[in-house]
Structure 1
Amino acid sequence: MENIHELIESLHLDSYLTIDDIPELDLYMDQVIQLFERKYADTKRNEEEKILTKTMINNYAKGKLFFPVKNKKYTKEHIMLISMVYQMKSALSINDIKKVLDIANNDTFDLEGLYKSYENISENNVNRFKEQSLQINAEVAEEVSSDEEDMLYKKQLLMVASFTHMSNVYRRAAEKIVDQMEEGQQSKKE
């Protein structure tokens, strides 16, 4: 990558839905979609990409990823859960997400407290990503000589390979935790 700082900046890693972004009043589905589209507009890969659609929300509801909606309106709690699904769906299956959010869908669970913790950790993850990206970029620069033929291509390929490898490592770790959660819930039922 010629300029890793530009790459990091172009990702708009500071775009995420906070508790303060979520209105106190209940929203209709179109309003939920608009909220997500506004908040994540800069993160889209291209103009055609959709952040959230009616079909996605309906599939999440059918998959019981969040508790039932009343009068076609989504509460603040629904929106927090949809936000977490939105973040997890690129790495985990819908079935895995359902397992992870099972207890959070209980009306006695402190979802707002969890979501605030999620916000804090997400912010730390962004900072960690920036630091690690700079480190990976430096390692790639060491591996590819500046006088090599196809130097830029080799650097870009190594960056893509490194990022996808890290993504796979994190996804596999998340899947292991999901399996442990499922085992824990199974043993409680027995």
Structure 2
Amino acid sequence: MENNNEEYLKSIFDCFKKLDYINPDEIPNIDLYMDQVTTFMDEHLQASKRYSEDKLLTKTMINNYTKNNLLPSPNKKKYSKEHMLLLIFIYYFKNILSISDIQSIFNPLTEKYYGEKSDIGLETIYKEVFKNQNEQIDALVKDVIRKYNKSRESFPDAQPEEDREFLKTFSFICMLSFDVYIKKQMIEKIIDDTLTDKAKEEKKEKKET
């Protein structure tokens, strides 16, 4: 059983190896049409698909992001490198956050750093953020191993063995899910306590001027 556990953990950690980081240097420095954008994203993020037929970003999705002010409007139906960087952020955020929460994050981001408005550009922000994330992989792996080992200690007396294995797996899923839930709650609180209030203040200032 120990060998099976090691193989199981290895299969899980293979997911980390599949995590795609799109290097900004891979993104064309020329503006792209919608079809080129979706093709690029599909090719560079395909390892993160759960099923081969899954669509990562569709034309409808991108148009909706623009309508909801998550993404600045394209210039003559063409999307810049900055658009691409924002789309990558949206791709990761949309799995855990609501559209309104992403708006709260993106509004100050695009207002201050999109379109060469600052010495710190979106590409610099993107590189820094993903460098920090990559540095957390080892800690994340250790945390998953700890949770898995803890789950293996649960339901020791459950019978038959098939039921016991199911309950241990269920326990592992619950531990991982609780971790995601807590972090999602933390993100939402940060947005509510800081970004949302800041957005309200900026709107108030604009009305007064």
Task: Please indicate, yes or no, whether the TM-score normalized by the shorter chain is above 0.5.
Answer: yes
8 Å contact kept, 1:77–1:112:
yes
**Alpha-carbon shift at residue 80 of structure 1 (Å):** 0.5
**Alpha-carbon shift at residue 86 of structure 1 (Å):** 0.6
**Alpha-carbon shift at residue 7 of structure 1 (Å):** 1.3
C-alpha spacing 1:147/1:179, structure 2 compared with 1 (3 Å) = closer
Look up the match of 2:191. Answer: 178
1:40 lines up with 2:45 in the alignment = yes
Between the aligned partners of 1:28 and 1:12, the Cα distance in structure 2 is 30
Partner deviation per Cα, 1:24-56 (whole Å, 9 max, x = no partner): 111111111111111121211112211110111
Between the aligned partners of 1:13 and 1:173, the Cα distance in structure 2 is 27
Runs of 4+ more than 6 Å apart: none
Look up the match of 1:105. Answer: 110
Specify which structure has the bigger relative contact order, considering alpha-carbon pairs within 8 angstroms and separated by 6 or more residues: 1
Structure 1: gaps (5+ residues): none
Between the aligned partners of 1:8 and 1:146, the Cα distance in structure 2 is 28
Partner deviation per Cα, 1:43-86 (whole Å, 9 max, x = no partner): 11112211110111001011111222101111110000111011
Between the aligned partners of 2:137 and 2:41, the Cα distance in structure 1 is 19
Report the count of equivalent residues: 190
8 Å contact kept, 1:140–1:158:
yes
Structure 2: gaps (5+ residues): none
8 Å contact kept, 1:15–1:43:
yes
Look up the match of 1:66. Answer: 71
Q: Percent identity?
A: 28
Q: Amino acid of the residue matched to residue 94 of structure 1?
A: I
Between the aligned partners of 1:32 and 1:128, the Cα distance in structure 2 is 33
RMSD: 1.9
8 Å contact kept, 1:18–1:119:
no
Look up the match of 1:135. Answer: 146
TM-score normalised to structure 2 length:
0.83
Equivalent residue runs for 1:49-128 within 5 Å:
49-106=54-111, 107=115, 108-109=117-118, 110-128=121-139
